[in-house]
């Protein structure tokens, strides 16, 4: 795409526009990546909270079963 030398300044302007577009695209990509990272972090936090809740529920259920078994054993005696 080499043009004549007399319209160099127009080419320079086009290059500047291209650079600006590239910068904008890069910024958009960075923003998208940051958003994705934030979403991933939020998902991970939610998963961790869910796991903690599940563990707490399992522990409570185990304790309840243990207490029921102990009560049955004591009632037999």
Q: Give pLDDT tens digits for 34-73.
A: 999 999 999 999 999 999 999 999 999 999 998 888 888 7
Provide the pLDDT for residue 11.
53
Distances (CA, A) of 76 to 37, 38, 63, 64, 71: 58, 57, 20, 18, 9
Whether 42 maps to a domain, the answer reads: yes
The more confidently predicted of residues 9 and 74 is: 74
Query: What range defines the domain where residue 58 resides?
Result: 7-76
Domain annotation covers residue 1: no
Q: Does 27 fall in a domain?
A: yes
Give the CA distances from residue 23 to residues 9, 15, 29, 32, 77, in Å, rounded to whole numbers and listed in that order: 21, 12, 10, 14, 80
Domains in the chain: how many in total? 1
pTM over 0.85: no
Instruction: Say if 30 falls within a structural domain.
Output: yes
Say how far apart CA 28 and CA 22 lie, in whole Å.
10
- Whether 28 is in a domain gets the answer yes
User: Residue 48 is encoded by which pair of tokens?
Assistant: 């961790």
* Residue 2 included in any domain: no
């Amino acid at each position: 795409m080499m043009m004549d030398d007399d319209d160099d300044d127009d080419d320079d302007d086009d290059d500047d526009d291209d650079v600006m577009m590239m910068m904008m695209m890069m910024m958009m990509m960075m923003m998208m990546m940051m958003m994705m990272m934030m979403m991933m972090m939020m998902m991970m936090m939610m998963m961790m909270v869910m796991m903690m809740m599940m563990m707490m529920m399992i522990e409570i259920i185990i304790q309840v079963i243990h207490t029921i078994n102990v009560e049955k054993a004591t009632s037999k005696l």
